[in-house]
Amino acid sequence: MPAEWERHAAVWLSWPHDPETFTSGVVKGEKIFTEIISAIYRSEKVELLVRDGKMKARVLKYLKGKKVDLNRVNFHLADYADVWFRDFGPIFLVNRETKRLAMTDWVYNVYGNKWPELLKDDKIPAWLNRFLKLPYFAPGIVMEGGSFDVNGRGTLMTSEQCLLNKNRNPKLNKKQIEKYLSDYLGVRRFIWLKKGILADHTDGHIDDIARFVNPTTVMYAYEDDVGEGNHKILKENLAILKKAADQNGRKLKLIKLPMPKMVDKNGNRYAVSYANFYIGNVVVLVPIFKHKNDKTALKIIQEAFPKRKVVGIDCRDLIVGGGTIHCVTQQQPAV
């Protein structure tokens, strides 16, 4: 599996439609997706799932309003349930010798069968491959794309809370899970953080707590306020990162990323994180939340990607469904 900053041919998304996900209004979700596509289409093609012709017509209206080049957008009519393409879509692989693309299709059980009505999204990778016609590998175990991150050189980062959770693969231990990841993603060094942030229904996805930004550097989310619930969690993860090494035994360079905070009118918190960014070919799309730390986070991420333009996208109406930009995107590597 290549690192996310390696060249992409396309980005995959599934257009929003479910009011259960977008509780503040599906239209607000559509506008966020329009912003995402508008920011990314020039440098990588957009492969977009829509449910029917009526939805496609709505999308076309939005994209034309933003003057998006429609030759850069491919539509796929599919019977999908939700927008979390990172987690249910295929994970693409590259054979670096033959320059050939392949895909893996892991089992998607909707974060431990939390929402059975979304289980049909597990079928999307196999359906896509009927026309992609790529070499196809199905490991047969539960795994979501947002639960791990790779540096493209042999190291994978994940969390124990997610991958060792009994609602995923209860019959597998850590070594057995590592064997699957090694066999199907081409990795050999593992960094296991402990837990994800509070209110995260994914049970600790890595893409909210720590991300590789180059082969030897990890950007990590950290909460300075000792009175915040995430402080202890993220401090424990940082202690692990400080001792961690890459596939060659080299210590990692670490970049601290502040935490935002967002609560609803009843005081219930959302799992907000700036680490849920998407690294495109020439842009980095970063979720922002009208929080005092937005500008600081954008500056830190921009410094980590000097050759890319960092674009902040207001994701307050997206996080209500449980995720943001990285969760709804999946890169297809260029070969």
For residue 205, give the nearest of 283, 269, 112, 122 by alpha carbon. 112
Residue 51 to residue 180: CA distance in whole angstroms: 33
315 is catalytic: no
Query: Which is the catalytic residue, given 257, 279, 327, 328?
Result: 327
Task: Retrieve residue 33's tokens.
Answer: 């997706």
Residues in contact with 260: Cβ distance below 8 Å, sequence separation at least 6, in sequence order:
272, 273, 274, 288, 289, 291, 293, 294, 297
Q: Catalytic residues, which ones?
A: 327
